[in-house]
């Protein structure tokens, strides 16, 4: 039986990966200490997801471990020797990083290094898939010429008609401290692949989403937006007229790509993993979509100040992913994404 270790196993992507590989017959070990609740309070608590996975899968085993615990990480890797390691644990918020910079860097950069070095020493043939972020590009995407449309911003440069590709520069731009810590982790993952010949990849996610996301105001765009609509909460738009665009990829399609990479791994690769243009949506467009599903008008206020380092328009170019893994493609449309998140919020599944 193949063995998988997932960090951040109670989070959105981690739990999807657990579920996906358990269904394939793998023995899956999850590492999570519910630090999201420490970062974001009760709304970010993921224990409900841990309990859900434990009740669903007999081949899943939870490990209460902080990835900053270097000795603990090394001991676990030495004991388990997994075939695949999927690293999704992170501090994911721009705003929180500014107020807790050491926690942010220790989780995102040092925690990643702990996992990489433990893997190199104890199981160097492991396939290591790292959930990075499109925030490694900093605010450089905002330098692309844009055009303003009635409900969204869009690229006004034909070179970016298909979105942003992996050769886009990550240098000399404002990242936020979160973006900087994720750059450090991203480069380390690449270097362990290129320098040591390990099978590693960085998945630079756009908006990763799905029904099992514990979305909060500081992180979890669609999940939090839908929650606000369902519960009648006030949603705050931060700048750019609410026309800022994100491409959204369902967590299942992320898990499917990780599976494809694990079957034909490469060394030190980078992929921009997002929903592409077909799954892109602005905040204003998202308001209309959820209102059509729920029958409730979105309650919101506009704050005429964008978040530092925020992208005005970000769409992932999926060309490289499809070229390297032609059997993979997006299977969950933007309609599927909204419908599933809405049904999960409506049913109160997170308990």
Q: Which domain holds residue 329?
A: 3-347
pLDDT per position as a tens digit, 310-323: 899 999 999 999 99
Taking alpha carbons only, the member of 239, 238, 213, 208 closest to residue 226 is 213
CATH number of the domain bearing residue 122: 3.40.50.720
C-alpha to C-alpha distance for 80 and 29, rounded to whole angstroms: 9
Instruction: Indicate the DSSP class of residue 100.
Output: -
Q: Where are the alpha helices (DSSP H) in 172-301?
A: 176-194, 221-231, 251-263, 283-294
At a CB cut-off of 8 Å and minimum separation 6, what does 58 contact? Answer: none
Instruction: Using alpha carbons only, give the angle 138, 139, 140 rounded to the nearest 5 degrees.
Output: 90
C-alpha to C-alpha distance for 35 and 45, rounded to whole angstroms: 8
Number of domains observed in the structure of the chain: 1
At a CB cut-off of 8 Å and minimum separation 6, what does 17 contact? Answer: 4, 6, 9, 86, 88, 254, 255, 258
pTM of the model: 0.94
pLDDT per position as a tens digit, 255-285: 999 999 999 999 999 999 999 999 999 999 9
Instruction: Mean pLDDT check: name the lowest of 14-23, 60-69, 202-211.
Output: 202-211
């Amino acid at each position: 039986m193949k063995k998988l270790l997932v960090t951040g196993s109670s989070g959105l992507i981690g739990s999807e990966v657990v579920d996906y590989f358990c269904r394939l017959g793998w023995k899956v070990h999850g590492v999570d200490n519910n630090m999201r609740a420490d970062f974001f309070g009760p709304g970010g608590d993921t224990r409900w997801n841990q309990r859900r996975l434990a009740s669903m899968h007999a081949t899943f085993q939870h490990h209460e471990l902080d990835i900053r615990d270097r000795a603990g990480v090394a001991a676990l890797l030495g004991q388990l020797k997994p075939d695949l390691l999927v690293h999704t644990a992170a501090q994911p918020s721009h705003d929180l990083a500014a107020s807790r910079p050491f926690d942010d860097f220790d989780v995102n950069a040092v925690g990643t290094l702990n996992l990489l070095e433990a893997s190199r020493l104890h199981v160097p043939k492991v396939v290591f898939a790292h959930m990075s972020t499109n925030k490694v590009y900093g605010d450089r995407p905002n330098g692309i010429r844009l055009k303003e449309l009635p409900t969204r911003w869009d690229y006004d440069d034909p070179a970016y008609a298909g979105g942003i590709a992996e050769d886009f520069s990550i240098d000399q731009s404002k990242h936020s401290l979160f973006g900087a810590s994720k750059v450090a982790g991203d480069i380390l993952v690449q270097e362990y692949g290129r320098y040591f010949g390990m099978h590693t990849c960085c998945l630079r996610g756009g908006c990763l989403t799905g029904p099992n996301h514990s979305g909060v105001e500081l992180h979890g765009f669609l999940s939090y937006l839908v929650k606000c609509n369902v519960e009648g909460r006030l949603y705050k738009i931060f700048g750019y007229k609410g026309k800022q665009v994100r491409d959204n990829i369902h967590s299942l399609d992320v898990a499917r790509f990780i599976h494809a990479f694990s079957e034909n791994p490469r060394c030190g690769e980078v992929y921009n993993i997002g929903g592409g243009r077909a799954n892109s949506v602005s905040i204003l467009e998202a308001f209309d979509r959820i209102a059509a599903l729920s029958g409730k008008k979105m309650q919101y206020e506009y704050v005429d100040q964008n978040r530092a380092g925020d992208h005005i328009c970000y769409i992932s170019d999926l060309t490289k992913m499809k070229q390297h893994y032609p059997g993979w493609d997006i299977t969950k449309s933007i309609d599927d994404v909204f419908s599933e998140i809405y049904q999960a919020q409506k049913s109160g599944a997170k308990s």
